[in-house]
Amino acid sequence: MAKKQKVASSVKDESLIEKRRKQMIQGAVKLFKEKGFHRTTTREIAKEAGFSIGTLYEYIRAKEDVLFLVCDGIYEEVQKQLSTFIVEEGTLEELSIAIRRYYELVHEMSDEFVLMYQESKALSKDALQYVLKKELEMVSLFERILNACVKSGELRIEEKEIPLAAHHIIVQGQMWAFRRWALAKQYSSDEYINIQVEQLLKGITRENA
Amino acid sequence: MAKKQKVASSVKDESLIEKRRKQMIQGAVKLFKEKGFHRTTTREIAKEAGFSIGTLYEYIRAKEDVLFLVCDGIYEEVQKQLSTFIVEEGTLEELSIAIRRYYELVHEMSDEFVLMYQESKALSKDALQYVLKKELEMVSLFERILNACVKSGELRIEEKEIPLAAHHIIVQGQMWAFRRWALAKQYSSDEYINIQVEQLLKGITRENA
Amino acid sequence: MAKKQKVASSVKDESLIEKRRKQMIQGAVKLFKEKGFHRTTTREIAKEAGFSIGTLYEYIRAKEDVLFLVCDGIYEEVQKQLSTFIVEEGTLEELSIAIRRYYELVHEMSDEFVLMYQESKALSKDALQYVLKKELEMVSLFERILNACVKSGELRIEEKEIPLAAHHIIVQGQMWAFRRWALAKQYSSDEYINIQVEQLLKGITRENA
Amino acid sequence: MAKKQKVASSVKDESLIEKRRKQMIQGAVKLFKEKGFHRTTTREIAKEAGFSIGTLYEYIRAKEDVLFLVCDGIYEEVQKQLSTFIVEEGTLEELSIAIRRYYELVHEMSDEFVLMYQESKALSKDALQYVLKKELEMVSLFERILNACVKSGELRIEEKEIPLAAHHIIVQGQMWAFRRWALAKQYSSDEYINIQVEQLLKGITRENA
DNA sequence: AATGAATGAGTTTTCATTCAT
DNA sequence: GATGAATGAAAACTCATTCAT
């Protein structure tokens, strides 16, 4: 089951590509967090990844590709992590777990989330489209759970409100990443997650009454 | 009442400084929206502003200053616009109007909001501190209104929840700027604002029961 | 009478452009002769011209522009030099003088001619078209003189043969530049020019008999 | 009769060397025609030739060697083709046939001729000397025929003029390759060859009278 | 105050060549 | 003999900043 590569490489060995790109992404994330995409040089990325500048360019075509790989990696990680918990059985239990797990991921990958939002502008049009599509897939994920809950009768909200509710779930999760500098003074990440999950579910189920 | 300049200039005439900086900001915002801070050159900023690169540097010390002036300008505009409506009298009416006006501003200045969040990383530590302080002031603004409502008895939420509620108000407003690419497919800005304001107020007042 | 610039520059002062480009061309020709276009770096060109790499790029947009300016300069020089002698009065005398002067120019600018022929491949399509047009203008110049001679009755060759005759004149002149390494063993440039001019005229006028 | 290799190879099997180099030359000529020597990468040459970059370097020592092999191949081909017709019997018939065949070759190998003249500058001093020697051999070939004609009495031109006449023959043939872009508008290759051969012979024999 | 030519450090990217497998 | 991943020197080009006019 060969993995379709989204970024061209002049190296043929697919497993080597995967290995080197993992190194590359790891190094790049560290550097991008510290100084941002534009202030990080390709030489620094290569060095941090543990190989030469020439080798770096064997695995990408342009600096922008590194940013794309980073973004893609983040979504892949989140999707992998979430997919474990989601079966779309349509219980509030499942919804609650999914939200909680997503919020935990946002906390664990705070820097990555911030980085992606701040730097995605540097992507080419095509790459940006791809990333936005991935973001929409995250929204859909929650839309599907909400839908399943409506079908199973556990939730009574109007069809039209489902997309907005899904966006709310996501945005309130990401809020922790973007406003941690302010929120962390008052709440621990655990507290934050608990309060948010509780309020969100209350908000969504409120309409039931 | 001479305005203390936050950015050094070698020009003495304060009114001239203000005039030139207005031109500069206007041009810079346009360019930053299009291509981001890093991809915009100082030459382009000068040209768009209508003067020479030499003149540009008479009014700033470094490129970063332009970004700072832009961010500062945005907050000033928002604060100016909101201050008209806010008297902290403590009615739900006032709260509702403030939220609505803030959301309208987010809509009107969508690009500016996005730009500020995406590029603020390029600011120096000091400048970033200043901008974050401004953001906190926005939060405080809503905290004060909420407090006034609690005091006046129109709202019954716990003290500890006020800061989070304020952040929610702000984040849900900014959500329109950051996710318009997805939300605008389903909602007009008016619809969005109406739904959000309504839900927010319901959410906040729910606890009253 | 402003001179239309064929190569874009970010400097406005036209006379300064002319001055700097003259320096640039002079340096570039010297270097291209020695090592060819591709083996010459832009830094070397700038240094040889007497200014910094940054300044070089104020007067051109890409390295290729330097090559174009060199080619253009060569044609301009040749045309300037020849125009003095040519009035298209239609005498064999005039023809003879034009050929002789052209051959002398080829001798004087041997390196430049060789350089142009060897490096023109590096030009963009548009620039190459322009240079070929200039070469055709040189051919036309001799065609017009030949035509004038036919009209005045000094020469009796068929219309159809005129273009080929003009190409012959030019090619046999350039032959000195390209084969000097072999020809100079047997002929001085003066001898070569004398023999060639004599034989060419004999060849052209032969048909008269 | 083992052929002495002019370019070092780390492979021992001579027939393999010949085979691989033939592939290499064929691929290189195609690429050099399209983009010139400098714009063609060794990777491209290897790929076009049908083997890997590592293998390429088993048969050459440096990129320049490829260019040398190409030039050498061209001369070998021309000499092979001409040798069939030349017996130095000293008839105008033979001269005429040799010229014609040479001109046909120039037509058939137009791109190769142009390529050799445009890129030979990239050769090392030694390699360039070798190529120039080959070019001189071509001149000598025609000198010998001319000499034979003089000896046999079919031609009466002065000894001193023979080298120049030989150069003329060659240059007027190559003229087709270099100026086809202009000449082909008025003449087909056949026409061109006919006219040129006729005029050349007339020019050379004219002195007989 | 305004101008814009000059600067050169810094950046991305390429590509000939090597060498371990 | 063949392969292709790794290397890093070198090249083109950019652009924030300065300063003489």
Report the pLDDT value the prediction gives residue D85, as an integer from 0 to 100: 84
pLDDT in tens, C82-97: 998 888 889 999 999 9
pLDDT at B6: 86
Query: For chain A, what is the radius of gyration of the CA atoms?
Result: 19
- Side-chain-facing half-sphere of B198: CA atoms under 13 Å: 7
Chain D residue with minimal CA distance to C180? Answer: D167
Contact B101, B141 (CB under 8 A): no
Q: Which nucleotide is nearest to A52 (CA to C1')?
A: F7
> Do the Cβ atoms of A156 and A187 come closer than 8 Å?
no
pLDDT at B125: 95
Query: What Å distances lie between residue A84 and A72, C100, D16, D77, CA to CA?
Result: 19, 89, 58, 69
Q: Are D88 and D142 in contact (CB under 8 A)?
A: no
- A106: helix, strand or coil: helix
pLDDT in the model for residue A209: 43
- Cα→Cα distances D154→B37, C125, C174, D19, D142, Å: 82, 49, 31, 45, 15
Low-confidence winner among A51-55, A205-209, B89-93, C131-135 (lowest mean pLDDT)? A205-209
Residue linked to tokens 């036209």? C14
- By Cβ distance, the residue of B122, B167, B182 closest to A139 is B182
Instruction: Give me the domains of chain D, ranges plus CATH numbers.
Output: 8-61 (1.10.10.60), 64-206 (1.10.357.10)
Cα(C193)–Cα(C190) distance, integer angstroms: 5
Contact status, residue D113 vs residue D106, Cβ threshold 8 Å: yes
Global pTM exceeds 0.75? yes
Tokens (6 digits) for C195: 């023999």
DSSP H helical ranges for A84-119: 92-108, 110-119
Give Cα A46 distance to the centre of its chain.
24
Protein D62 CA to nucleic acid E10 C1', in Å?
A: 32
pLDDT at position C3 is: 54
Residues C51-64 pLDDT 10s: 999 999 999 999 99
Q: Do chains C and D touch (3 or more CB pairs under 8 A)?
A: yes
Please report the number of interchain residue pairs, chain A to chain B, with beta-carbon separation below 8 angstroms.
72
The tokens for D131 are 């190529």
Six-digit token pair at B123? 């600011």
The answer to whether A55 and A16 are in contact (CB under 8 A) is no
What would the two tokens of residue C153 be?
């009755």
Integer angstrom CA distances of residue D138 from A4, B16, D145, D167, D195:
56, 79, 11, 9, 22
- pLDDT on residue B206: 67
A63 strand E contact, CB < 7 Å: yes
What pLDDT was estimated at residue D87? 83
On chain B, the residues whose CB falls within 8 A of the CB of A182 are 132, 135-136, 139, 167
Residues of chain C contacting D, Cβ within 8 Å: 36, 38-39, 117-119, 121-122, 132, 135-136, 139, 160, 163-164, 167-168, 171-172, 175, 178-179, 181-183, 186-187, 195, 199, 202-203, 206
CB contact under 8 A, A186 and B164: yes
Distance CA C195, CA D158 (A): 13
pLDDT the model gives residue B205: 80
How close, in Å, is residue A167 to chain B by CA atoms?
A: 9
Q: Find, in chain C, the residue whose alpha carbon is nearest to that of D183.
A: C164
Token representation of residue A61: 């075509």
**What is the distance in angstroms between the Cα of A203 and the nearest Cα belonging to chain B?**
6
Scanning residues 4 through 43 of protein chain A, those with a beta carbon under 7 Å from any atom of strand E turn out to be 39-43
Cβ atoms of B145 and B94 within 8 Å: the answer is: yes
Q: From the CA of B23, how many Å to the nearest CA of chain A? A: 25
Which token pair is B155?
A: 């709202």
Is residue D25 within 8 Å of residue D32, measured between CB atoms?
no
* pLDDT score for D3: 52
Question: Is the pLDDT reported for residue A37 higher than 80?
Answer: yes
The beta-carbon neighbor of B121 closest among A36, A161, A171 is: A36
Q: Distance of alpha carbon A103 from its chain centroid, rounded? A: 11
**Within 13 Å, how many C-alpha atoms sit on residue C172's CB side?**
24
Q: What is the pLDDT of residue C1?
A: 40
Tell me how far CA of residue A203 lies from CA of A143, B38, B191, B200, D20, in angstroms.
16, 41, 19, 9, 75
Written as one letter, the residue type at D115 is L
Average pLDDT of span A5-34: 96
Tokens of D77: 């081909």
Residue matched to tokens 């992507």: A123
**Which among D118, D164, D168 is the nearest to C121, CB-wise?**
D118
* A137 vs C2: which has the higher pLDDT: A137
Mean pLDDT across D103-110:
96
Nucleotide closest to C64 measured between CA and C1':
F12
Distance separating alpha carbons of residues C66 and C70, to the nearest angstrom = 6
Residue C99 CA to residue C112 CA, distance in Å, equals 19
Residues of chain B with pLDDT under 70: 1-4, 206-209
Predicted pLDDT of residue C87: 84
Angle between helices C189-206 and C92-108 (to 10 degrees): 150
Angular region, B69: left φ>0, alpha ψ -120 to 50, beta rest: alpha
Distance CA C189, CA D60 (A): 40
Interatomic separation, CA of residue A46 and C1' of nucleotide F3, rounded (Å): 25
Tell me the CA–C1' distance in angstroms for B62 and F16: 8
Average pLDDT over chain C, rounded to an integer: 93
CA dist A78 and A171 (Å) reads 15
Residues of B in contact with A135 (CB under 8 A): 182
Chain B residues close to A161, C-beta within 8 Å:
195
Q: For residue A5, what pLDDT is reported?
A: 73
Per-residue pLDDT reduced to its tens digit, C6-45: 999 999 999 999 999 999 999 999 999 999 999 999 999 9
The pLDDT > 90 percentage for chain C reads 86
Chains B and D touch (3+ CB pairs under 8 A): no
Whether C171 contacts D172, CB under 8 Å? yes
**Is pLDDT of D1 > 90?**
no
Element counts in chain B: helices (H) and strands (E)? 9, 0
* Least confident segment among A81-95, A167-181, D2-16, D54-68: D2-16
Confidence class for position D196, pLDDT limits 50, 70, 90:
very high
Q: Is C206 left (phi over 0), alpha (psi -120 to 50) or beta?
A: alpha
Location of structure tokens 């304001």: B197
With beta carbons less than 8 A apart as the criterion, state whether C146 and C166 touch.
Answer: yes
The C-alpha atoms of residue A89 and residue A86 are separated, in whole angstroms, by 8
Among the partner-chain residues D136, D187, D202, the one whose CB lies closest to the CB of C182 is: D136
Cα(C54)–Cα(C43) distance, integer angstroms: 9
Structure tokens at C114: 């060789």
Would you list which residues of chain D are within 8 Å, Cβ to Cβ, of chain C?
36, 38, 117-119, 121-122, 132, 135-136, 139, 160-161, 163-164, 167-168, 171-172, 175, 178-179, 181-183, 186-187, 195, 199, 202-203, 206
Residue C64 to residue C80: CA distance in whole angstroms? 24
Q: Is D3 exposed, middle or buried (0-12, 13-18, 19+ CB in 10 A)?
A: exposed
Cα separation, C207 vs C118, in Å, equals 36
Check C117 against D117: CB less than 8 A apart: yes
User: Which residue reads 């081909």 in tokens?
Assistant: D77
- Which residues on chain B place their C-beta less than 8 Å from a C-beta of chain A? 36, 38-39, 117-119, 121-122, 132, 135-136, 139, 160-161, 163-164, 167-168, 171-172, 175, 178-179, 181-183, 186-187, 195, 199, 202-203, 206
Q: Residue B180 has what DSSP assignment?
A: H
Question: Bigger pLDDT: C5 or D147?
Answer: D147
pLDDT digits (tens, 9 = 90+) for B123-172: 999 999 999 999 999 999 999 999 999 999 999 898 888 999 999 999 99
* CA-to-CA separations, D29 to B127, C201, D18, D76, D208, in angstroms, rounded: 60, 40, 16, 15, 44
D127 has pLDDT over 50: yes
Q: Tell me which of C103, C164, C186 to substitute to probe the interface with D (most D C-beta atoms closer than 10 Å).
A: C164
How open is the CA angle A96-A99-A104, to the nearest 5 degrees? 120
Query: Which residue is nearest nucleotide F7, judged by alpha carbon to C1' distance?
Result: A54
pLDDT average, residue stretch D169-187:
96
Cβ-Cβ contacts under 8 Å, B132 against chain A: 181-182
Q: What is the pLDDT of residue A4?
A: 60
For residues D130-164, one letter each, b for 16 or more C-beta atoms within 10 angstroms of the residue's C-beta and e for the rest, the string is: bbeebbbebbebbbbbbbbbbeeebbebeeeebbb
CA-based nearest distance A15→chain B, Å: 35
Calculate the angstrom distance between C1' of E20 and CA of D55. Answer: 15
Instruction: Please state the three-class secondary structure of chain C as a single string.
Output: CCCCCCCCCCCCCHHHHHHHHHHHHHHHHHHHHHHHHHHCCHHHHHHHHCCCHHHHHHHCCCHHHHHHHHHHHHHHHHHHHHHCCCCCCCCHHHHHHHHHHHHHHHHHCHHHHHHHHHHHHHCCHHHHHHHHHHHHHHHHHHHHHHHHHHHHCCCCCCHHHHHHHHHHHHHHHHHHHHHHHHHCCCCCHHHHHHHHHHHHHHHHHHCCC
